[in-house]
Amino acid sequence: MTRNTVVDRKIEIVVCSCGCRKTLNKYDSRNRIRVYIKNHSYNISHDKQFKIGNKPWNKGGKLSLEIKQKISCAKKEDPTRYWLGKKRSTETKLKISEAKKGIELSEEHKKKLSEAHKGEKAYNWKGNRSKIYGLRRRAAYKAWRTLVFERDDYTCQECGERGMYANAHHIKGVAEYPELVYEVDNGVTLCERCHARVDKYFAQFMKGGY
């Protein structure tokens, strides 16, 4: 139910449960049951509050078929929603772990799990970065870096510092221009400080974001 949904409000006058003898509508604006006038629950002394063995006011109430269907549909659409913001106890985690031990998944099931968490569906997806990192492990990439460093005499082309830990930066990004990844003219030598200033991804990497 959204905020803008118009609800036909039910009317049933009852006496406030705090003992003040004032009356209120049993249903609020969203047809939820209430037993106190606003803030009157604070008027109850501790000896009148709920005690172990007392019957809760909503015990024995039955949900309508319509409400049950709504709950069922909501859980089917997002079965993990129930656990959002909640934590399982260590005992519960151990029980779940023990129950799953020895269960062998079929190859078909493994393939489905793999497809469900691949690429953009992965929880830690950060925009096709894995292909870029894969390129950097190749011998051709190392040769490209060396050529860029030698051309620039191992000197940062932004601040002019020499003898620092040099970085080879792609002028045109690898993700947008993969065909230029090994072009020497698309590379420039930078120190780490200047590299972080011109490349937001490298700056995040330096901060531990990747």
What pLDDT tens digit does each residue of the chain (210 aa) get? 455 555 577 888 888 887 777 888 888 877 888 887 777 766 655 555 555 666 666 677 788 889 888 888 877 777 666 676 678 889 988 998 998 888 888 899 989 888 888 877 776 666 665 556 667 677 888 899 999 999 999 999 989 888 888 999 999 888 788 888 889 999 999 998 899 888 887 777 777 644
145, exposed or middle or buried, with CB in 10 Å at 0-12, 13-18, 19+?
middle
How far is it, in rounded angstroms, from Cα 15 to Cα 35?
Answer: 8
How far is it, in rounded angstroms, from Cα 168 to Cα 55?
Answer: 72
The pLDDT, as a whole number, for residue 134 is 64
DSSP states along 34-98: --S-TTGGGGS-GGGS--TTSPPTTTT----HHHHHHHHHHHHH-TTGGGTT----HHHHHHHHH
The pLDDT, as a whole number, for residue 91 is 92
- Total residues found in the chain within this entry: 210
User: 114 to each of 79, 117, 155, how far by Cα in Å?
Assistant: 20, 5, 45
DSSP 187: E
| pTM of model > 0.75 | no
How far is it, in rounded angstroms, from Cα 149 to Cα 155?
Answer: 8
The pLDDT, as a whole number, for residue 210 is 46
Taking alpha carbons only, the member of 95, 163, 43 closest to residue 189 is 163
How far is it, in rounded angstroms, from Cα 193 to Cα 4?
Answer: 51
The pLDDT, as a whole number, for residue 198 is 87
